Amino acid sequence: MRRSTQDARQYAYCCLGGKCSAKWVLEGDIKGCFDNINHDWLLGNIPMDKSTLKQFLKAGFVYNRHLNPTTAGTPQGGIISPILANMTLDGLEKAISSVYHVGKNGKIDKTRHNPHKVNFVRYADDFIVTANSEEIAKELVELIKEFLMERGLELSEEKTHITHIDDGFDFLGWNFRKYRGKLLIKPSKKSIDNITRKIGDVIRRAKPWKQEDLINVLNPIITGWPNYHRSAVSKETFSKLDHIVWEILWGWAKRRPPDKRNTWVANKYWHSVGNRRWVFSTGEYRLKPFSDTKIVRCAGLKLDKNPYIDQDYFNLRNCCPILKGL
């Protein structure tokens, strides 16, 4: 993947992090994006062999051993579906720029002509648009609705919001909010709740498991989630999650068997490893804490670089994505 959610987050930070940056954010949510794209629009606008594309669109999907036809949208789970959805939304940024970034010469110039501080950030079907006023944000809603309607899509009224940056908003698993003029990007509450629930579900299922089996199942979860969030303001969140996991594991250990004293439970399931005293381990296997993941800062993406043309730049960037380890 040449461009990632980390790149989208960094660009959003550039658009919102300054003292004079936009104050309002349109959080866009497309209702059933993959399910509702108009087939006629795809056939008329996607630059590929029409008969092949038609076969892709009519492939259908299997549910409960039954083949279900697709009359709209892209095939569920198909590898081409994200590509078609991305191409469907590809002109949205240009549609916005043609209204808000046109200079006196009639040409689009986002670097010099942006009086309304309108910036568009999209990853797949998740997007935000910044604006310098609530009125401009409302205008953007109508413009986007018109763009989507032609493609058989619509904004979700329930999930599309216009928010002031001081109140904060969620995007791609992070919460963006300004505190006394400083923009902080943290793991969102929803993302924290999801990982807590996932770990809790695993531990509750693990009542008959051996300790090493539980550790082997939990470690990929506990390393994967903080790796995604390690370039945000996450240190405090990692520490809180370590404490939550400890409490859930203590409940698991107390039931094995339930009549043992706390000292016996602690000595049986927790050991000292290096400078750490309370490590859930067997000696050979140990649980990796969230807080072992170091906070880093990632290099911002150069927006004028094309992944199909500037391959050397993207290859180097994939090898060295981190600017600075904290």
φ/ψ of 273, rounded to 5, equals: -130, 110
pLDDT (mean) for 170-188 = 97
* Cα dihedral 262/268/273/279 (nearest 10): -60
Residue 193 has pLDDT above 60, yes or no: yes
pTM of the model: 0.88
42 or 65: which carries more pLDDT confidence?
42
pLDDT class for 62, splitting at 50, 70, 90?
A: low
Predicted pLDDT at 154: 96
Tokens linked to 231: 């370039």
pLDDT of residue 324: 38
pLDDT at 41 over 90: yes
Band of residue 323 on the pLDDT scale cut at 50, 70, 90: very low
Residue 209, classed as helix, strand or coil, is coil
Nearest to 237 by CA among 293, 180, 316: 293
Which range has the worst mean pLDDT, 3-7, 17-21, 130-134, 290-294? 3-7
pLDDT of residue 22: 97
Cβ atoms within 10 Å of 260's Cβ, excluding its own: 15
Q: Which helix (H) or strand (E) holds 313?
A: helix 311-319
Quote the longest CA-to-CA distance of the chain. Answer: 81
DSSP string for 219-285: HHHHHHHHHHHTTSS-HHHHHHHHHHHHHHHHHHHHTSSTTS-HHHHHHHHEEEETTEEEEEB-SS-
Beta pairing class for 161-164 and 169-171: unpaired
Cβ neighbourhood burial of 90 (10 Å; 0-12, 13-18, 19+): exposed
Instruction: Give the pLDDT confidence score for residue 318 in this predicted structure.
Output: 65
* pLDDT score recorded for residue 68: 67
Is residue 176 scored above 80 in pLDDT?
Answer: yes
pLDDT at 78: 67
The backbone torsions φ and ψ at residue 130, rounded to the nearest 5 degrees and listed phi first, read -90, 160
Around Cβ 127, how many Cβ atoms within 10 Å?
A: 21
H/E stretch holding 142: helix 134-149
If one compares 318 and 103, the residue with the highest pLDDT of the two is 103
CA–CA gap between residue 307 and residue 218 (Å, rounded): 35
Are 18 and 156 within 8 A, CB to CB? no
All domains of the chain, ordered by start, with CATH? 5-30+89-187 (3.30.70), 36-86 (no CATH), 189-292 (no CATH), 296-325 (no CATH)
Average pLDDT over residues 103-127: 85
Question: What average pLDDT does range 15-39 have in this prediction?
Answer: 92
Question: Does residue 31 have a pLDDT over 60?
Answer: yes
Residue 33: its pLDDT value, please? 85
